[in-house]
Structure 1
Amino acid sequence: MAVYAAVTSLMGTMHLISQSSLDFQESNKECSKSLHEKVGSLLEFLDNSDNELMKDLQKKVKDLANEIEDEVESQVLQIMEKDEHIQTEANERLRKILEQAIEDIDSVNEELRKQRNKNNNSLSGNCSLGGPTSPRSRVSTLENDMVGHSDEQARVRGELIGHSSLLEVISITGMGGIGKSTFAKTMFSDPSVMGFFDVRGWITVSKDYSLRKMLLSLLQDAIGVNEVLDKKPDDELADCLQKCLKGRRYLIVVDDIWSTKAWEDIRQWFPENNNRSRILLTTRIMEVARDASYPKNLFPMRFLDPEESWNLFCQKAISKNDCPTEFESVGKVVVENCKGLPLMISVVAGSLSSKRMLDEWNEVAQSVSSLVNLDDYQRCSGVLALSYNHLPSHLKACFLYFGVFKKASEISIENLIRLWIAEGLFKLWGIGDLEKEACSLLHDLIDRSLIVVCKHSLDGKIKTCRIHDLLHDLCLRESVSESLLYVSNTSISGTNVPQHRRWVSFHQEPVLNFFSLTFPTYCKTRSLHFLAVKPYRTTFELGLDRFKLLRVLDLLGSNLIHLSNVLANLVSLRYLRGDFSGYPLIYKLRNLQFLSFCPVNKLLPIEIHLPDGTWKMSQLRHLHSSSFYLCSPPKISGNKYRVLENLQSVHGLRPVCCTKEMFEGIKKVKKLGICGKSKHFYDAPHA
């Protein structure tokens, strides 16, 4: 929800001002503390109010919070100037802005209090489930459990490990949300199937697919991580994959393929070994399935029967044994109106799993029943929107942020959490563990069946996730309707970007310079994402000065030439990722939390020498590169060295930098990656 994101972001800004070492007048720091407290009461309202009844007031709160933050941050930029006269005038303007903001927030708080009292309904006599409110305390922790389809599983298993020596393609078909990918995952992880094949690989195709990413994914499954492969062109990667699969019995899952062209593009990768190799394909498009498979290998997914539907609901919402009769009867009405579509059942059950009162269950049941006469797609979209509306306010903004990413993309949990933190999407500043709190929010979304777990790391933690494309559509609809997000899936040339969008994301390679885009002269956008399918080179030398308030600049796959002076002016940046030169002024980004150097051309890696001023970047939490040099920290007194107190992870540090002083300066890190050839480790100084 845009209003929650606006309020938490404003609170974070107020906290930073009150704790800042910049030349703020003491009265401004006190006003910031006061405003922080008053804005905090808005969060209590958002967490406890009825979204529908308070919709107009929520918009008022969102607009006010955004306006205050824009004005405040504009003055903060002036206070960061070296000119003392400019600083003094900006401090005076800031004082007036903060005083007016306190009055406005007081007025809104009073209006909200009256409206909430007016709409308050007594819950006396309402039946309760009792017990804990956390869905994780009672819901199965197994992601993507398959319910039902036991006969279909037996048949497909028989085809996968059958006696035909030919390479066979088995196609699972059906509408979105019917469980094709979950079925494929169940087969992929079946012990008898796992033991039958020498090599197993999985690729997700989707509408906008990248052949290179799919090739690298399959090669990683076949031979493991290999940095040399990442430097090869696509045709050599395809040749490597064919050689890896030649003579071996393999199973490849081709998930979510949308066109016969996509199938033609990838089918040539898979050699005919005459050794009972198999391809398991999932698609919504019957034409694709017929083109890929013989008729006997077509398996349309059916809807769940009533018993299977109820079992899935109980798995996601509440144990059968713990379900009182009153709740069971309401739950069965909900299940009946989901018409056997697994995604609908899972998402509604996930929403109900956090609700303890019978009235809340009845409200959801009535809403689902109102959609019963719509077609399958409309009913599914309506139920997903209903579940979003029933999300707690603090989860809505985090959920909507998934719209920034490309549909069907596999998302790194670590990167997602860092982006959430940089955007200020949740309520925690200066205390506790930011990453831990963000991880808790992610688990809440997973427990509600809104996010799907893809991969786990070796220690059992979630490594990557994705969002179902129907839920991704919901993210886009809701975030666009709230004027929060703008996504471009077309050529950038000539694109008009709507006013006042906080998040802007581009998913295609530009054909012309980025700044042929029509942006306002003074842009209030807080994050820019360039998530090209293929790496590209472009120059961003002009125009970035419009984005004075930018917090996130994600330029993965972009080569930015001579950007040092421009970047140094983006002093609000908290997250920066891309391939750029001119590092000496990076240290001016004193608010930066995440810094990642990602070279576009991995055949020509750049030696990165970070400036001495890096040790002044006190907010830095993560420093990543394929390889970088950094001098030892400066002494601050006696034998004490400057320490980056907030630094959590470092990746790419050269062995020659590994001195005793270096380890003292980064002693708070939890993850450390040292990169270099083996001989460099022998030559490294003894720490």
Structure 2
Amino acid sequence: MAAYAAVTSLMRTMHLISQSSLDLQEGNKEHLESLYDAVGSLLEFLDNSDDELMKDLQKKVKDLANDVEDEVESQVLLVREKDEHIRTEANERLLKILQQAIENIDSLKQELNKQTKNNKLQARNGSVGHSYSPQLDVSAIENNMVGYNFEQELMLRKLTGDSSEMEVISIVGMGGIGKSTFAKRLFSDPAVVSFFDVRGWITVSKDYSLRNMLLSLLQYATGVKEEINPQDQENDEEEKKKNAELADRLQKSFKGRRYLIVVDDIWCRKAWDDIRLWFPENNKASRILLTTRILEVARYASSPKDPFPMRPLEPKESWNLFCQKAFGKVDSPTKFKDVAKIVVENCNGLPLIISVVAGTLSSTTTLEEWNEVAQGVSSLVNVDDYQRCSRVLALSYNHLPSHLKSCFLYFGVFAKATEISVKKLIRLWIAEGLFEIRGHGDLEKVAGSLLHDLIDKSLVVVSKRSLDGKIKTCRIHDLLHDLCLREAESENLLYILDPSASDPERIVPQDRRWVSVCSYRGCFSPLLAYNKTRSVHFSEYMGSYVLLGQDHFKLLRVLDLGRLKLTYAPRELSDLVSLRYFAVRSSVVIQYLPIYRLLNLQTFSFLLDDGSPSRTKTMQLPNGIWKMSQLRHV
């Protein structure tokens, strides 16, 4: 939730200030400690409050925490100035701000206590025990699909059959029914792995990039990762020409080879028309395995053959999946069996709903809480499958403890269907201050534990593991991504800026802390000039460098330039003194970046121009980088 994120962010900011070498007046240091304790007491309220009954008060908490953080950080910037007069005045203003903030929090706490008593809320522990839910072995279950054994044998025969012609096989079904999971099971089957020379996977989704899909398939076909120079400003004709060149290279790479390509989550006939010619008929028994929610698209792509309809799970299969996710075994404790059967029956055989609800209940030990969830699921019996799926996912989100809600919502800053580096995700969570740290806890370990909690609850899926079993990348289902966007935007936390949409001149609302920029090839820096913004992510942005060195951005703490490539070292970067996380793509200007002034920087991540990690080549790092005391990761 936004309120929890605002409070933990403020606490993290105050902790970093108190640990810094800033020239603070003695009174300011004492008031910082007092304010830290006062703010920390708000977390107990947020952990124990009912979202609906206390929504107005939660908004007050969020607004107060954000305002205090803005004011404190603004004065801290001035305390860093060389001019002694400016520093002195800033210290005096900071003292007044801290005193007023403590008074405001005390007043708010009285209001919270009064409202809590009126509502007779019972405290709910956000970290309940796991008496009936031992820690699940995620590695054992993440690809362990329940059911569909007959269907798997049938599909394997189609994929590896005698027909030498290239065939398109469509899997169709509603969102959450398990199409992508089933396709992944087929894709990874040993018989398939040995039968095909090349296997590749692309996710299309509603808003697709032909360039990205072509580059991804070329990497599967050639084993070489390559990128198109992001700062090249292509018009439509130039882009079509370049895509045609890439498509020609892809077709040539398939020549004489038997290939299997999974085209996942395709939404319209036009998308299939855009990519179908990439796959040549070479009489090598090649196959395209396509998944879609739209029956018309499935029929169109696989014509004249009929699509394969994905069925819901049978009752026994549903029960086995639920027990596996909720208890880590094939049956439930007697205490919960009756209510568990009610829950499973009302999930209508949809694997995503079953998994997420089971994950929610896996950390719930009281029958009262189980009945509450069961009642919520049962109340949706008369709505259509899509609405039921969306509402059950929202129900599971609402039952998350506050600290997990904040971390889950952060997935919304990434583009849909993105495979996310776990190292990157954890470092971003830390930079944002999304969770509370008590004492001198290990930040990475705490963040990793939170990620595992979300995985155990089936809200996050493991994509790749390293050889030693550690999670390398993860993702979330597109329906859960939709939920992230709805919740984060409804709480005025996240704004998705897509200037390529119908209104390219949209202005970012001033109260949004996270801004994600996507699918654009231009320059629009005036749209981002707001001092409330703390994070800017360029997920699929392909334009030119955006001027960020305005006063409005001095409080920016996360700047992920994504695929945007710098061709020069911007001096204004040194003004972003609050920056904690900075990711950039460039090898030409890395050593000239003026990051030595970024005293709060914790993570400096950079890729080479070809997209390979910086560790693969020797290069000159920016001057003064090893003198940065807060730097944790390079």
Q: Same fold (TM over 0.5)?
A: yes
Shift of 1:222: 3.5
**One-letter amino acid of the structure 1 residue matched with residue 570 of structure 2:** S
Aligned to 2:9: 9
For the Cα contact (< 8 Å) 1:138–1:318, is it kept in 2?
A: no
Matched, 1:70 2:70: yes
Aligned to 1:557: 563
1:212-291 superposed matches below 5 A: 212-226=211-225, 234-291=243-300
Q: Deviations over 1:574-618 (max 9, x none)?
A: 112235758352201111112234466889x99974443222211
Q: Deviations over 1:203-249 (max 9, x none)?
A: 11212222333233333334434569999965554344333332222
Aligned to 1:390: 399
User: Which SS does the other structure have where 1:187 is aligned?
Assistant: helix
For the Cα contact (< 8 Å) 2:353–2:392, is it kept in 1?
A: yes
Choose which of 484, 488, 493 in structure 2 pairs with 1:475.
Answer: 484
Q: When the two structures are aligned, how many residues end up with a matched partner?
A: 613
Shift of 1:66: 0.8
Aligned to 1:636: none
For the Cα contact (< 8 Å) 1:579–1:599, is it kept in 2?
A: yes
Aligned to 2:539: 531
Return the alpha-carbon distance in structure 2 between the equivalents of residues 162 and 138 of structure 1.
Answer: 35
Return the alpha-carbon distance in structure 1 between the equivalents of residues 185 and 357 of structure 2.
Answer: 22
1:601-680 superposed matches below 5 A: 609-623=620-634
- When structure 1 is superposed on structure 2, of 165-174 and 139-148 the one drifting more is 139-148
Shift of 1:122: 7.3
Shift of 1:141: 4.2
1:484-523 superposed matches below 5 A: 484-491=493-500, 493-511=504-522, 513-517=523-527, 519-520=529-530, 523=531
For the Cα contact (< 8 Å) 1:347–1:387, is it kept in 2?
A: yes
Return the alpha-carbon distance in structure 1 between the equivalents of residues 543 and 251 of structure 2.
Answer: 27
Aligned to 1:652: none
Q: Deviations over 1:9-56 (max 9, x none)?
A: 010111112111011112211221222222222223322333333322
For the Cα contact (< 8 Å) 1:139–1:319, is it kept in 2?
A: no
Shift of 1:82: 0.7
Return the alpha-carbon distance in structure 2 between the equivalents of residues 457 and 147 of structure 1.
Answer: 25
Aligned to 2:84: 84
**Aligned pair in 2 of structure 1 residues 37, 463: CA closer, same or farther (>3 Å)?**
same
Return the alpha-carbon distance in structure 2 between the equivalents of residues 476 and 335 of structure 1.
Answer: 27
**Aligned pair in 2 of structure 1 residues 262, 429: CA closer, same or farther (>3 Å)?**
farther
For the Cα contact (< 8 Å) 1:135–1:354, is it kept in 2?
A: no
Q: Deviations over 1:543-578 (max 9, x none)?
A: 633212110111223245656331111110111223
User: Which SS does the other structure have where 2:37 is aligned?
Assistant: helix
User: Which SS does the other structure have where 2:261 is aligned?
Assistant: strand
Aligned to 2:375: 366
User: Which SS does the other structure have where 2:135 is aligned?
Assistant: helix
Aligned to 2:236: none
Return the alpha-carbon distance in structure 2 between the equivalents of residues 256 and 486 of structure 1.
Answer: 24
Aligned to 2:172: 173
**One-letter amino acid of the structure 2 residue matched with residue 362 of structure 1:** N
For the Cα contact (< 8 Å) 2:130–2:363, is it kept in 1?
A: no
Aligned to 1:299: 308
For the Cα contact (< 8 Å) 2:343–2:374, is it kept in 1?
A: yes
Return the alpha-carbon distance in structure 1 between the equivalents of residues 107 and 405 of structure 2.
Answer: 25
User: Which SS does the other structure have where 1:195 is aligned?
Assistant: helix
Return the alpha-carbon distance in structure 2 between the equivalents of residues 207 and 303 of structure 1.
Answer: 24
For the Cα contact (< 8 Å) 2:319–2:341, is it kept in 1?
A: yes
Return the alpha-carbon distance in structure 1 between the equivalents of residues 575 and 602 of structure 2.
Answer: 16
Return the alpha-carbon distance in structure 2 between the equivalents of residues 316 and 265 of structure 1.
Answer: 39
1:33-432 superposed matches below 5 A: 33-117=33-117, 119=119, 132=131, 136-137=135-136, 141-226=140-225, 234-319=243-328, 323-428=332-437, 431-432=440-441
Shift of 1:292: 1.9
For the Cα contact (< 8 Å) 1:593–1:620, is it kept in 2?
A: yes
Choose which of 441, 450, 461 in structure 1 pairs with 2:450.
Answer: 441
Query: Percent identity, aligned pairs only?
Result: 67
**Aligned pair in 2 of structure 1 residues 321, 401: CA closer, same or farther (>3 Å)?**
closer
Specify every segment of 5 or more residues in structure 1 that has no aligned partner in the other structure, as ranges: 124-128, 624-687
Shift of 1:189: 1.7
**Aligned pair in 2 of structure 1 residues 609, 552: CA closer, same or farther (>3 Å)?**
same
For the Cα contact (< 8 Å) 1:18–1:30, is it kept in 2?
A: no
Shift of 1:389: 0.4
Aligned to 1:631: none
Shift of 1:297: 4.8
- When structure 1 is superposed on structure 2, of 550-559 and 59-68 the one drifting more is 550-559
Return the alpha-carbon distance in structure 2 between the equivalents of residues 326 and 541 of structure 1.
Answer: 60
**Aligned pair in 2 of structure 1 residues 59, 144: CA closer, same or farther (>3 Å)?**
farther
Return the alpha-carbon distance in structure 2 between the equivalents of residues 59 and 144 of structure 1.
Answer: 40
Shift of 1:394: 0.3
Aligned to 2:577: 571
User: Which SS does the other structure have where 2:156 is aligned?
Assistant: helix
Return the alpha-carbon distance in structure 2 between the equivalents of residues 63 and 78 of structure 1.
Answer: 23
**Aligned pair in 2 of structure 1 residues 381, 321: CA closer, same or farther (>3 Å)?**
closer
**Aligned pair in 2 of structure 1 residues 554, 258: CA closer, same or farther (>3 Å)?**
same
**One-letter amino acid of the structure 2 residue matched with residue 442 of structure 1:** L
- When structure 1 is superposed on structure 2, of 354-363 and 613-622 the one drifting more is 613-622
Shift of 1:163: 1.0
For the Cα contact (< 8 Å) 1:169–1:297, is it kept in 2?
A: no
For the Cα contact (< 8 Å) 1:496–1:519, is it kept in 2?
A: no
**Aligned pair in 2 of structure 1 residues 167, 360: CA closer, same or farther (>3 Å)?**
same
Return the alpha-carbon distance in structure 2 between the equivalents of residues 86 and 142 of structure 1.
Answer: 59
- When structure 1 is superposed on structure 2, of 7-16 and 105-114 the one drifting more is 105-114
Q: Please provide the CA RMSD for this pair.
A: 2.9
Shift of 1:510: 4.3
TM-score, normalised on structure 1? 0.83
**Aligned pair in 2 of structure 1 residues 299, 34: CA closer, same or farther (>3 Å)?**
same
For the Cα contact (< 8 Å) 2:132–2:327, is it kept in 1?
A: no
Aligned to 1:458: 467
User: Which SS does the other structure have where 2:594 is aligned?
Assistant: helix
Return the alpha-carbon distance in structure 2 between the equivalents of residues 528 and 131 of structure 1.
Answer: 37
**One-letter amino acid of the structure 2 residue matched with residue 375 of structure 1:** D
User: Which SS does the other structure have where 2:511 is aligned?
Assistant: coil
**One-letter amino acid of the structure 2 residue matched with residue 450 of structure 1:** L
For the Cα contact (< 8 Å) 2:569–2:594, is it kept in 1?
A: no
User: Which SS does the other structure have where 1:102 is aligned?
Assistant: helix
Q: Deviations over 1:164-196 (max 9, x none)?
A: 111111110011111100110111122222222
For the Cα contact (< 8 Å) 2:206–2:266, is it kept in 1?
A: yes
**Aligned pair in 2 of structure 1 residues 143, 320: CA closer, same or farther (>3 Å)?**
closer
**Aligned pair in 2 of structure 1 residues 360, 588: CA closer, same or farther (>3 Å)?**
same
**One-letter amino acid of the structure 1 residue matched with residue 543 of structure 2:** Y
Shift of 1:288: 2.2
- When structure 1 is superposed on structure 2, of 171-180 and 502-511 the one drifting more is 502-511
